[in-house]
């Protein structure tokens, strides 16, 4: 029995070491840069891990942003998808589709769409309309007050990708896609890492999200590592919420 426990413990430690090693910025970047045309791709592909160890699903962030017209104004159309791995298809199939339409001048959303499909459950679809001038958000004709320059998750990522963290050390933004206003506060610092004969600049963003009304029971932390290659490319994202740690790491650019 002791031998079996020792083997199991050794295997778990090995998996933890391999997973955490593969999550390091140097390893992620070196793998991406093996393909010289990687940064010309249009899809950022992420593998999502539970506790940074167990693979659960994949997420895709489309880039560059498409320019479209929405109600007479120019907007950026951002898109992202997420789904569980086929490994779990015998148990559950889950799929999410996100769309954000951002005013090209103000860089704030005017419309956010979310579709969620889960086996055995009714599909959910949500459209959130933003009136940034009057600070009003509408969901199924229900109007709610929002704070200035409120973002959705995709527009928040969009704005972070455009920031110059050599000049910005602290950031703050408001986020709302449902009912309550949330505030994201973070600090950032840059550093250079050497891989082979080349030096890459990365930014380390540590942030917390909490309810604007200071409710103590709704807090999460998000730590992002961004690669500075013309724009900030998120290569690793750690999310800690409700006692659960999730990690999304960039595995490919297509």
CA-CA distances (angstroms) from residue 200 to 39, 192, 206, 226? 14, 6, 19, 11
What is the pLDDT at residue 45? 95
Q: Average pLDDT over the chain, rounded to whole?
A: 89
Q: How confident is the model at residue 164 (pLDDT cuts 50, 70, 90)?
A: very high
- 18 three-state secondary structure: helix
CB–CB of 186/204 below 8 Å? no
**For 83-93, what is each residue's pLDDT tens digit?**
998 877 777 88
What is the pLDDT at residue 148? 96
- 123 three-state secondary structure: coil
Residue 162: which region, alpha, beta or left (left: phi > 0; alpha: psi -120 to 50)?
Answer: alpha
Query: What percentage of the chain carries pLDDT values higher than 90?
Result: 65
Alpha carbon 60 to chain centroid, angstroms = 10
Q: Are strands 66-70 and 244-253 parallel, antiparallel or unpaired?
A: unpaired
- Whether pLDDT at 205 is above 90: yes
**For 67-116, what is each residue's pLDDT tens digit?**
999 988 999 999 999 999 887 777 788 999 999 999 999 999 999 999 99
CB–CB of 103/96 below 8 Å? no
What is the pLDDT at residue 17? 62
- Whether pLDDT at 6 is above 70: no
What is the pLDDT at residue 10? 67
Cis peptide before 212 (omega within 30 of 0): no
- Whether pLDDT at 3 is above 70: no
């Amino acid at each position: 029995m002791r031998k079996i426990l020792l083997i199991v413990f050794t295997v778990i430690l090995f998996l933890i070491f391999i997973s955490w090693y593969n999550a390091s910025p140097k390893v992620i970047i070196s793998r991406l840069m093996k393909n010289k045309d990687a940064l010309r791709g249009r899809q950022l592909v992420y593998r999502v891990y539970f506790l940074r160890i167990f693979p659960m699903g994949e997420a895709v962030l489309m880039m560059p942003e498409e320019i479209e017209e929405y109600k007479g104004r120019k907007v950026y159309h951002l898109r992202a998808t997420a789904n569980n791995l086929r490994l779990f298809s015998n148990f559950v199939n889950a799929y999410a589709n996100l769309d954000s339409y951002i005013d090209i001048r103000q860089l704030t959303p005017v419309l956010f769409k979310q579709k969620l499909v889960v086996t055995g459950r009714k599909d959910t679809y949500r459209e959130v309309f933003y009136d940034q001038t009057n600070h009003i958000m509408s969901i199924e004709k229900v109007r709610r007050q929002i704070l200035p320059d409120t973002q959705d998750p995709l527009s928040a990522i969009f704005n972070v990708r455009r920031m110059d963290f050599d000049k910005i050390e602290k950031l703050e933004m408001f986020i709302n896609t449902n009912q309550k206003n949330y505030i994201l506060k973070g600090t950032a610092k840059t550093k250079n890492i050497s891989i082979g004969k080349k030096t890459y600049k990365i930014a380390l963003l540590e942030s917390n999200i909490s309810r604007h009304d200071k409710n103590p029971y709704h807090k999460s932390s998000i730590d992002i590592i961004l690669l500075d290659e013309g724009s900030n490319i998120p290569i690793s994202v750690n999310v800690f919420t409700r006692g659960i740690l999730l990690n999304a790491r960039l595995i490919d650019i297509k």
